[in-house]
Structure 1
Amino acid sequence: MSTSNYLPVREAWLASGTEAALEPDLPIIDAHHHFYDRPGWQYLLEEYLADVQSGHNITASVFMQALTRYRTEGPEALRPVGEVAYVADATAHQQLLRPRVAEGIIGYADLRLGAAVREVLDAELAASHGRLRGVRHLVAWDEDPSLVNPLSAAPAGLLLDKDYQAGVEQLADFGLNYEAWLFFTQLPELFALAQRFPETRIVINHCGGVVRIARYANHPETVFAQWAHAMRQLAQLPNVYVKLGGLGMRINGFNFEQGERPPTSAALAEAWQPWMMTCIDAFGVERCMFESNFPVDKGSYPYSNGWNAFKRLTAGASAAERDWLFRGTASRVYQLEM
């Protein structure tokens, strides 16, 4: 796989530094992963299970929308239902096994439809066999278009758009979460949205959109301070949660992919510590959950090393605190039977 918006996955490079799992009995829910079926990049159930079989005790997972297997005909608004149906069907047998892959499913729906999005939500709920848990309509935007994936580019200020907000307003009636993928510069807009809809559970993806490349690479202290301030502000709202992970992407600027071998879990933990511990300190363990973000983060490190890094980061926490971070928060937020 090779594309300018994702780091290439190099299996031989990953294999050269894959670690054995630490604490292999610790129960884990992987709160965020994808299936991809794109030219030059296939990552479906078989590939995910191969990564999961790394020795960690992954008991269940949450699938995140990824433009996979949309319908190719019918009304445009309903075509994303194809992804939900595909994932639900492809993983149906896995619900009787371990891990229960895609026990929770996050779909895409065009929230700019406003109240009309309810038809899409009804269809996705039916297609999911009861496993739909939320919607993600990406809003990531920056004045530098090189930072944004053209497959999901959004206009500026989408979170504040009245039609988009009318779509978000529908989610609470369906008991669905709003999943937020955006850049850290947009976090104040998310704060305004979360304030407006206190009954809607909002889940911030990937530690809040850390960007440390392009013009942001020149001011790391400013980036961290601005990000931390916005995340602490969001933490004041009890309906907001955060996923700890997704820091192996190109835009994060950690450059893990540049090593002769993959980064060790100790190196990952050291690099991530300021960002993830700031989130945990602000939101508390009951509103934070770990995620793999595979296969996107697979360009930077092996699956096993990522979970080892999370375990190293939390080595000083109590057993109860770690259970929230690795399993409990995701179980509650996504209503999983754990």
Structure 2
Amino acid sequence: MSSAISAQISSHLAIRKEWLDRRREDPLDPALPIVDPHHHLIDRPESGTYLMSDLLEDIGSGHSIVATVYLEWLSMYRAGGPEEMRPVGEIEFANGVAAMSASGGYGKPRLCAGIVGYADLMLGARVAEVLEAMIAVGGGRFRGIRYIASSDPDQAQWGATFVRPQGLLLDKRVREGFAQLAPLGLSFDAWAFHPQLGDVVDLARAFPATPIVMNHVGGPIGLGRYKGKRDEVFADWSTRIRELAACPNVHVKLGGLGMKMFGFDVHEGELPPSSEQLAAAWRPYVETCIAAFGPSRAMFESNFPVDKGSYGYGVFWNACKRLAQGASAAEKADLFHDTASRFYRLGL
């Protein structure tokens, strides 16, 4: 197991089915169409299994999930061939799941209708060959890549031990690789912690023709040296979010708040949190993002199974619907379906 994969696993909360089963909620507004624009599929002994059947079981919680977007997990790589080409195997895997789903034999939701992979931008211009190979095997579903830049001196306190260089998105070689995305019609998923949002702003300004979506509300850290300083972090984060939103090529995903690094303690309760609890805790972050980006550039995301250590899938979508209660019908359509469909070019 690589150190990158190990870090990605250890920073996530354990899924406890018996605990999750103690909280069930009927779906609110069950007919509202939803595109879930951020989930993973996993099959490794050290991290458990979350595959097509598991995702379908969660989707079966009663909400109208019409399609999903698969996000890279440093997984299912090819066992041989050039090192830089091995991540192409993950696109083949996700496209296989998508093809199974598209047969109609597994229900109405179109799983992995969009696919986001990983390619090493440190290859510079040579990464174009990797991207072209991903397009070739993606069945028309490959949409772009995620290149994680999240790094913090205190990240070991939430289990992440793989240290990425600070300023990674400013690296000249990485930018040379990033420049290959737009000519191929591809987008970029950004994941960085809130102190690094300035790097994403700089990247977005340097490449205004490349669509970028910021994962997990821009990562306001709640542990390490930031523990107990939520108001201070919020003030800093919100200023950076508004600066990022001023870049018209940037969107934002509203989710991921079940991860350990955010510092919420809902996973410590005797019962799993209710959708009311989640909505109350998340409201400042979600409302700030929607106010900054507008519903047409914001999309709710499940981040499952990573966030499943904190709450159930159905409860999550109920929390999102509570957060959107004051929105118009058109705004709800954007937040739950249309923005994701447009950004990932799903044609829904």
Instruction: State the alpha-carbon separation in 2 of the partners of residues 256 and 298 from structure 1.
Output: 11
In the alignment, is the contact (CA less than 8 A) between 2:31 and 2:64 conserved in 1?
Answer: yes
TM-score (norm 1): 0.97
1:9 matched residue in structure 2: 15
Instruction: State the alpha-carbon separation in 2 of the partners of residues 214 and 144 from structure 1.
Output: 5
How far off is 1:136 after superposition?
Answer: 0.5
1:187 matched residue in structure 2: 197
Matched, 1:63 2:61: no
1:275 matched residue in structure 2: 285
Cα displacement string for residues 28-85 of structure 1 (whole angstroms, at most 9, x for unaligned residues): 0001000111224111111111111000000000000001211111110000000110
Instruction: State the alpha-carbon separation in 2 of the partners of residues 149 and 67 from structure 1.
Output: 15
SS at match of 2:27: coil
In the alignment, is the contact (CA less than 8 A) between 2:149 and 2:191 conserved in 1?
Answer: yes
In the alignment, is the contact (CA less than 8 A) between 1:207 and 1:246 conserved in 2?
Answer: yes
In the alignment, is the contact (CA less than 8 A) between 1:142 and 1:148 conserved in 2?
Answer: no
1:26 matched residue in structure 2: 32
Matched, 1:149 2:160: yes
Matched, 1:90 2:101: no
Matched, 1:104 2:114: yes
SS at match of 2:276: helix
Matched, 1:175 2:177: no
Matched, 1:305 2:315: yes
Instruction: State the alpha-carbon separation in 2 of the partners of residues 256 and 306 from structure 1.
Output: 12
SS at match of 2:181: helix
In the alignment, is the contact (CA less than 8 A) between 1:201 and 1:240 conserved in 2?
Answer: yes
Q: Would the alpha carbon gap of residues 148 and 13 (structure 1) be closer, same or farther in structure 2, given more than 3 Å must change?
A: closer
Instruction: State the alpha-carbon separation in 2 of the partners of residues 308 and 315 from structure 1.
Output: 10
SS at match of 2:34: strand
SS at match of 1:83: helix
Percent identity at matched positions? 50
How far off is 1:93 after superposition?
Answer: 2.3
TM-score (norm 2): 0.94
1:134 matched residue in structure 2: 144
How far off is 1:285 after superposition?
Answer: 0.3
How far off is 1:215 after superposition?
Answer: 1.1
Q: Would the alpha carbon gap of residues 3 and 96 (structure 1) be closer, same or farther in structure 2, given more than 3 Å must change?
A: closer
Instruction: State the alpha-carbon separation in 1 of the partners of residues 72 and 163 from structure 2.
Output: 15
How far off is 1:221 after superposition?
Answer: 1.3
2:168 matched residue in structure 1: 158
Matched, 1:287 2:297: yes
Cα displacement string for residues 230-250 of structure 1 (whole angstroms, at most 9, x for unaligned residues): 000011110000000000000
How far off is 1:3 after superposition?
Answer: 5.7
1:119 matched residue in structure 2: 129
Cα displacement string for residues 143-187 of structure 1 (whole angstroms, at most 9, x for unaligned residues): 12404634x642111011000011111100111111101101100
CA RMSD of aligned residues (A): 1.3
In the alignment, is the contact (CA less than 8 A) between 1:45 and 1:91 conserved in 2?
Answer: no
Instruction: State the alpha-carbon separation in 2 of the partners of residues 250 and 162 from structure 1.
Output: 32
List structure 1 runs of 4+ shifted beyond 6 angstroms: none
How far off is 1:18 after superposition?
Answer: 2.1
In the alignment, is the contact (CA less than 8 A) between 1:140 and 1:148 conserved in 2?
Answer: no
Matched, 1:321 2:331: yes
SS at match of 1:170: coil
Matched, 1:45 2:45: no
Please list every run of 5 or more consecutive structure 1 residues that lacks an aligned counterpart in the other structure. none
Cα displacement string for residues 84-120 of structure 1 (whole angstroms, at most 9, x for unaligned residues): 1011012202124321000000000001111100010
2:5 matched residue in structure 1: none
In the alignment, is the contact (CA less than 8 A) between 1:141 and 1:148 conserved in 2?
Answer: no
1:77 matched residue in structure 2: 84
Instruction: State the alpha-carbon separation in 1 of the partners of residues 34 and 168 from structure 2.
Output: 34
